[in-house]
Structure 1
Amino acid sequence: MKIAVLAEQNLNLIDGSTIWLLNACKLLALQSDFEIDLLLAHRLEVRTLANELPDTIRVHDAVALQASDGLDGPLTPDTLPHLLAAWEEEHGRYDRIFVRGTGFLTRLLDEPLFCDRIVAYAPSVIPDVTLPEPQWVQLGRQLRTPVVVQSEIAKRALEALSDYPAYVVHVVPPIVFPTPSQPRIETDSVTLCYSGKIELQYGLDWLIALCDEISDAPDLAVSMIAGKDTHRAANPAFFADMDRFREGVAQGAYPRVSLARNLAHSETKVRMGQGDFAFCLRHDRYDDVIEISTKIVEFCSLGVPPILNNNMLNRSLFGASYPYLVDVSAGDIPARLQEIMRSRHSPAYQAAKERCTRIAAQFSAEALSVRLGRALRGHDKTSPALAATPRHILIATHERKFLHQITDRLRGEPEVTVSWEAWESTIKPRVQPYVSDEVDTVFCEWCCENAVWHSRNKRPDTRLIVRLHRFEAFRDFPERVDWAQVDALIVVSDHFRDLMISRFGVDPSKIHVLPQFINWHELQRDKLPEAQFTLGLVGINPFEHKRFDRAIDFFAALRARDDRFRLAVRSVMPWEIDWVWDRQDETRALFEAQFARIFSDPDLSATIRFDSGGPDMEEWYRGIGTILSSSDTEGCHTSVLEGMAAGCLPVVYDWPGAQSLFAPHVYSDMAEAIPEVISFAECEDIASARTAFSTKVQKHDVEKFIQYFMGL
């Protein structure tokens, strides 16, 4: 696979972002099937970092290509598409373009020539509610562009706050590469080490104050490894003090301080490893940042405990009991630093070093290389190839919503081509259907008029596969399909298999039962504390199908037995759907009666919450312990499969087909499930019980579905 790495960062400078670029290239180089070009947005003049790139990385100066067009200066978003197209014309097309930088991302995602090959890197994804949503997020969400972020917190923020599809958000924390062990120089003094750019908000005013205070302290020392000056014009007073400090160090006024600048990254890490503590404090404006600092991880890998802000990100990584978390709002930071430095021989220091060892193990290059490789490929390297020879699949459908994960996966398969035949509705194609000579398989998603037409106009050398959902089974389409011309029919449950055999005479050997797939791996998330006594119900529309009243009846009966339980309803409201709310029948009255029942009952109104619809279901299931299905009819009720994958107990009304999917958790009277719900919530080993439910539905994971589908 041919990969281009394109970043706005200037590799001539040494800071956290260019160290990331260096390490990302090293990480990609560990993937044996990747052929990697690093396209630099700035002319390479200082090779300090470039010299540390693996030999397999080809470094290209994109600025030189720009100069050939009469342009000067660094690469810009405006000139990028033309120059990248010219580059590919000369050097060959890239399979993936790994991009960091909002300007570059926005421009390339808006360019049809490149948009479906982009993999984005987003170090900070918390949206600013005072500003419009970044355009790259809007474009990426629509295109389902894979995004690499640094932490689980960042992933969940992108899912929940920006509605980004969970399955294309990949967590790849900062990378740590092993450093050859260096003999430690033992001294009587305790050394606090800082490595990074010179910026006021990085707490360097506190560090200078500390250096002023310890100039006569024989047991304390500071080692500074300085990168570039940042925001000098905006902070003249701070940089005046920094210049005074640097001059003082040069003249020997700070005998307990060493200061080095512009070192190779390998030499920097050697110096970092000589410290006893790492200065990683920042001003509180950084407390809402969800980007894990590469320097923090590097210090951990070197066995040097970092001194950190006591904020959410650091507590999630190091634990709330980590002894060197500092509340920077408490004041007198230099005094707190001296107190910490003098704890080197304490049990707390040894505990901190052990914590650092465990953290560093999470960021090993081998493990993270696999993660980054998966983000670029769209699947694990170890996954079996989906096709041994070239295949061209034509998908005919009026609605693609259940296919996104499948087609995104196929997009990453070199031997598979997917094209589309769009239908305006269940009965009307957008243009006259046509199967080109290149197509070897036609897949009709939904058994509607698309399946009727293709079964009656099938080319002899093609295969025809039809997938039937619950909706079409009770329409007139199946009886008009020429089933003799259909090679395979996919149905979502045994009930619909039996129905297609008895009602329409479909050959049983052609029918394959495949419930709607789930992303099993994305649903493996830790439960929130409230999940233990929270029931979940997904979807209440339309009334006669979902039977919202039956779920409320069950919940009220459960509350009468045990008042610890709550109900969370995740659904679009009926008045938000015209075809539900404006129907000329009793639907509106039935819904109004249930809402009146809830909000006139203090107990129900206080214990039922309504969560608006959205794609971040993986996060929502973290707060759910029991998942309900109160419907009269369903195909396979995907939300129950998802809930089980997330470790939820299923409670399912006995709709046709439910027994084959969810027995023994299916009830003709849902009230019969109340003892099991209470017992599950009180289970001493609830983690094992949740794992058992999750394991039971692992067979419905999307990757297994795709493998089976391609077998057909």
Structure 2
Amino acid sequence: MIDGSAIWAQGMVQALARAGCEVTLVLKAPVRTGRLVDPLRALPGVTVRSPHAEGLFDGPGGMVPRHAAAILTRIDDENPHDLVVVRGRRLAGKLAAGPLAGRLWTYLTDVPQSAGEFSASAKAELRRIADASRVLLCQTEELRGFLESAVPATAGKSVLFPPVVVLPPGMAPRPPGAPDGLLRLVYTGKFAPRWNTYEMTSLPRLLAMRAVDAELHMIGDKIHDDSADPGFATRMRTALESGEGVVWHGGHPRAEAMWLTASCDVGLSWRDPSIDASLELSTKVLECGTLGVPVVLNRTPMHEGLLGTDYPLFAATEADVLDALTLIGKNPDVYTLAADRCRAAAEEFTLDAAADRLRTYLSQAFPEPSESVLAVKQRPLRVGVAGHDLKFFSGLLDYLRSRSDMEVRVDHWPALKAHDEKRSQDLIEWADVIICEWCGPNALWFASRKRPDQRLVVRLHRFELYAPWPKQLDIDAVDSIICVSPHYTRLTLETTGWPAAKVVTIPNWVDDAQLDRAKLPGAEHHLGMIGIAPSRKRLDLALDVLEELRRDDPRFTLFVKSKLPWEYWWIWQKEEERAHYEKAFRRIRRSRLLSGGVVFDSYGRDVASWLRRIGFVLSTSDDESFHLAPAEGMASGAVPALLNWPGADTIYDPRWIHESTSAMAASIAATVTQDRWQQDSDLARSQVKAAYALPEVCDQWTNLLAGAR
């Protein structure tokens, strides 16, 4: 069968094969035509399995999800696969509950595309799919951001995988140059009311009234029966068969449809405004761009990002379409500009570009084994991780689990002082190395019971340094204490008196690949804070900065992403904490400059998506052990702005550190008014990649666990 999912499957197989994978394609339906499958059979490293032809499935048509899940599991049993790419929510939902969970690379297309459509059951199903998926492949940045905000479990797993446009063998794009004489318009696809296909059939007649000779070529044979408009199918067919200047080619194989498109001058993808909010990108638009054919389409943020805000062929109404076509019919320069924009945009969606993306994702999911690790044992290194709260360790944990030279088990303590002693003892008997996340009761328990030949690594945070546990820890039983900054390494040595050789600095990691996303318009006037509790985070000082900026430019806005202080019982029970926030919120309400200038966004894992609107990330705290927020902001392309809390200069470039809120505000204003924001953004991003990128920090942990100092 040839439909959108079959075209996608062909491109996906080709991209995976080009990225270096051995690929097995499992067909969901009997083969009716070999036009898509036969070229794949000829590719080296590609195996095509047809359950119908092989007798694995004896149904008359395509497999439904429960059948497909059973067949995929059976094929995987024969020869287990490293990853399983699956398209569609229903099938992914079935696989999420089976033995392929954890290896799924799920491509979701049929998700609700607005908050109003998201039922509780849809959220629950997508959460199960996200938990079972190693990677979620998202067609657009808009879809990725929406998923991350609606289903927190997708955050950190969602990566971009736009449509892949592959030209048939021997096909060449349309020759450059504006049309000479007759303007040939083309539409390919289904005929449906919201796709404005009936309205398109009037364009040649209306253009003739403007002295523009035009011809409309329409390719496709699927005419939609619309229950809301029972007469549509009849009207549509009549217009296709007898419309003035309309040439209806009927249905054609994809290659022939692309040949016809390349013989035309302008593609039509003008749709009803109700579709403007779609989170998916039309493959037809990209195919036209690849063929050198400019497209008339709706102005949406996604299309502006693709083609530029000044693209000349945006259209919302029939009059807009006629104006655009009249303009290019009489102005060759405008036509050439539109064609060049579409061609340049399509270059991001080639097979080579898709293979490059997949190579990056594959290298992250399957790190190369380390000789230093394998030298420790002639088998994978057994790593145990124990702690009550692993949120700061999650990225490292995923990385360790992905290594073929390591096996990982987690002893998750329900609370700081509560655990299953048998499970902890089992970990001691199994592991070569034990990592205690937090230097708390877990570290004390394992230090007193570890085997003599077993290595123990403890990661210490600011929270524990001034608690009683470090003083009780048997440091002789510990091989390495990890601190996240040079400043806290120094404080740890001064406070505990531990041997300097045992205290190591390995910084916090920043998932730069996830955070590196295109900024939204206006970001340079948006300040961001991530976390404002407890009061030592100093929201009041951030308000000082904002107030100074808004005196001269009211476009500056402070976005706060955080739980609110009363959501932390241990904070809100303290009178001085309540007083601090009551004063700050009263000030926001009453200040002429602050009122309307502070936005509170809900706490959640969708930080990468949220940071797209942020141009500066503030750190106004009294003290921090590392403060990850500025580093995450830098990875997103935001410029960091820090007050000089103790140790800040051991983590961040002094150019980002300010002695007062006035100096911070002046620096931010100068950066924007002197048009230096993009330059500083690029510098900040390059700095954080060099120092704190996840692969760099993971390498340091790999060396430590292998025994290297």
Which bin holds the TM-score, normalised by the shorter protein? 0.7 to 0.9
Whether the 8 Å contact between 2:212 and 2:326 is mirrored in structure 1 is: no
Correspondence 1:38-77 to 2 at 5 A: 38-56=25-43, 57-63=46-52, 73-77=61-65
1: distance between equivalents of 2:692 and 2:675?
28
* Structural mapping, 1:117-516, within 5 Å: 117-123=103-109, 126-132=113-119, 134=122, 135-142=124-131, 145-163=134-152, 165-179=154-168, 180-182=170-172, 189-210=182-203, 220-226=214-220, 228-231=222-225, 237-244=231-238, 248=241, 257=247, 259-263=249-253, 265-328=254-317, 330=319, 339=326, 342-343=329-330, 346-375=332-361, 378-379=364-365, 388=374, 390-432=380-422, 433=424, 434-435=426-427, 438-516=430-508
Confirm whether residue 595 of structure 1 aligns to residue 589 of structure 2: no
Q: 2:568 maps to which residue?
A: 577
TM-score norm. by structure 2 comes to 0.86
- CA 1:628 to 1:234, structure 2 compared with 1: closer, same or farther past 3 Å? closer
Please state whether the residue corresponding to 2:66 is helix, strand or coil.
Answer: coil
Q: SS at 2:189's partner residue?
A: strand
Structure 2 Cα separation of the partners of residues 609 and 188 of structure 1 = 55
In 1, are the aligned partners of 2:26 and 2:51 still within 8 Å (CA)?
yes
- In the TM superposition, residue 431 of structure 1 has moved relative to its aligned partner by 3.8
Kept in 2: contact 1:625–1:647 (CA 8 A): yes
Contact 1:170 1:371 in 2 (8 A): no
**Structure 1 residues 504 and 679, CA gap change in structure 2 (3 angstroms):** same
Deviations 1:618-674, CA, capped at 9 Å, x for gaps: 333344344332323321111122233344444434433323223635456544544
Q: Specify the code of the residue in structure 1 equivalent to 2:414.
A: E
SS at match of 1:368: helix
Q: Which residue of 1 aligns with 2:512?
A: 520
Residue 384 of structure 1: how far off its partner (Å): 8.0
Q: 1:382 to 1:647 in 2, by over 3 A?
A: same
The CA deviation at 1:142 is: 4.6
Distance 2:173 2:599 in 1: 60
Query: Which residue number in structure 1 is paired with residue 677 of structure 2?
Result: 686
Q: CA deviation at 1:700?
A: 0.5
- For 2:465 and 2:615, the matched residues in 1 are separated by 33
User: Separation in 1 of the partners of 2:386 and 2:233?
Assistant: 64
Q: Could you tell me how far 1:342 is from its partner in structure 2?
A: 3.6
Q: Is the 8 A contact 1:124 1:289 kept in 2?
A: no
Rounded to whole Å, the distance in 1 between the matches of 2:58 and 2:518 is 55
Greater displacement, 450-459 / 376-385: 376-385
Using the size of structure 1 for normalisation, the TM-score is: 0.86
Cα 1:507–1:18 shift into 2, 3 Å = same
Aligned partner of residue 240 in structure 1, secondary structure: helix
Q: Is the 8 A contact 1:625 1:681 kept in 2?
A: no
Structure 1 stretch 484-493 or stretch 590-599: which is displaced more?
Answer: 590-599
- Residues 1:62 and 1:402: Cα distance change in structure 2 (over 3 Å): farther
Q: Are the structure 2 counterparts of residues 354 and 212 from structure 1 closer, same or farther at C-alpha, using a change threshold of 3 Å?
A: closer
Offset of residue 602 of structure 1: 3.2
Distance (whole Å) between structure 1 residues aligned to residue 266 and residue 370 of structure 2: 47
Closer, same or farther: CA 165–402 of 1 in aligned 2, 3 Å: farther
Residue 711 of structure 1 corresponds to which residue in structure 2? 703
1: CA distance, partners of 2:163 / 2:534 = 47
Q: Is the 8 A contact 1:62 1:75 kept in 2?
A: no
Q: Residue 84 of structure 1: SS of its match in structure 2? A: helix
Q: Measured at CA, do residues 24 and 198 of structure 1 come closer, stay the same or move farther in structure 2, by a change above 3 Å? A: farther
Tell me the residue number matched to 1:31: 19
Q: Deviations over 1:482-508 (max 9, x none)?
A: 222322221011222123323323232
- Cα distance, 1:306–1:436 mapped onto 2, change above 3 Å: same
**Equivalent residues of 1:465, 1:489 under 8 A apart:** yes
C-alpha spacing 1:75/1:128, structure 2 compared with 1 (3 Å): farther
8 Å Cα contact 2:51/2:57 also seen in 1: no
> What is the rounded CA distance, in whole Å, between the counterparts of 2:273 and 2:527 in structure 1?
38
Q: Deviations over 1:501-521 (max 9, x none)?
A: 233232322322122211223
Partner residue, 2:707: none
- Over 3 Å counting, the alpha-carbon distance change for 1:571 and 1:213 in structure 2 is closer
Paired residue type of 1:202: W
C-alpha RMSD of matched pairs (Å): 3.5
| Alignment-mate amino acid for residue 87 of structure 2 | R
> How much does 1:425 deviate?
1.8
Q: Among 622, 635, 640, which residue is 1:645 paired with?
A: 635
User: Are residues 338 and 532 of structure 1, via their aligned partners in 2, closer, same or farther at CA, if it must alter by over 3 Å?
Assistant: closer
* Residue correspondences, number: 686
- 1:120-165 Cα offsets, whole Å, 9 max, x none, are 1123652341441524422244557521122222222223444455
* CA distance in structure 2 between the aligned counterparts of 1:530 and 1:260, rounded to whole angstroms: 46
Q: Deviations over 1:49-70 (max 9, x none)?
A: 22232534322234567x7577
The question of whether the paired residues in 2 share the 8 Å contact of 1:26 and 1:54 is answered with no
What is the distance in 2 between the residues matched to 1:211 and 1:554? 58
- Assess if the C-alpha contact under 8 Å between 1:446 and 1:466 holds in 2: yes
Q: Which 10-residue stretch deviates more, 220-229 or 390-399?
A: 220-229
Change in Cα spacing, 1:675 to 1:271, as seen in structure 2 (3 Å) is closer
Secondary structure of 1:602's match?
coil
Distance 2:660 2:291 in 1: 61
Conserved? CA contact 2:202–2:244, under 8 Å: no
The amino acid across from 2:603 in the alignment is G
Which moves more between the two structures, 440-449 or 183-192? 183-192
Deviation at 1:593, TM superposition (A): 2.9
Q: In the alignment, is the contact (CA less than 8 A) between 2:459 and 2:482 conserved in 1?
A: yes
Moved more, 438-447 or 237-246: 237-246
Deviations 1:44-96 (A, max 9, x none): 2332322232534322234567x75776643223344444333322x222221
In structure 2, the gaps of 5 or more residues are 705-709
Q: What residue identity is the alignment partner of 1:25?
A: V
| Aligned-partner residue type, residue 341 of structure 2 | R
What is the distance in 1 between the residues matched to 2:520 and 2:185? 38
- Structure 2 CA distance for aligned equivalents of residues 183 and 663 of structure 1: 49
Separation in structure 1 between the aligned mates of residue 75 and residue 683 of structure 2, nearest angstrom:
52
Deviation at 1:685, TM superposition (A): 2.5
Are the aligned partners of 2:136 and 2:154 in contact in 1 as well (CA < 8 Å)? Answer: no
> Aligned letter for 2:586?
A
Distance 2:341 2:87 in 1: 31
Distance 2:267 2:118 in 1: 35
Partner SS, residue 393 of structure 1: strand
Residue equivalent to 1:114: 100
Contact 1:193 1:272 in 2 (8 A): yes
CA distance in 1, matches of 2:273, 2:660: 55
What residue identity is the alignment partner of 2:598? I
| Separation in structure 1 between the aligned mates of residue 313 and residue 658 of structure 2, nearest angstrom | 54
The secondary structure found in structure 2 opposite 1:512 is: strand
Q: Is the 8 A contact 2:226 2:233 kept in 1?
A: yes
* Alignment match of 2:85 (pick from 72, 75, 98): 98
CA distance in 1 between counterparts of 2:182 and 2:284 reads: 23
1:192-248 deviations in Å (ceiling 9; x for gaps): 2222234443333234445788999995434333254555788653333455567x5
Residue 195 of structure 1 aligns with an amino acid whose one-letter code is T
Q: Name the amino acid aligned to 1:688.
A: Q
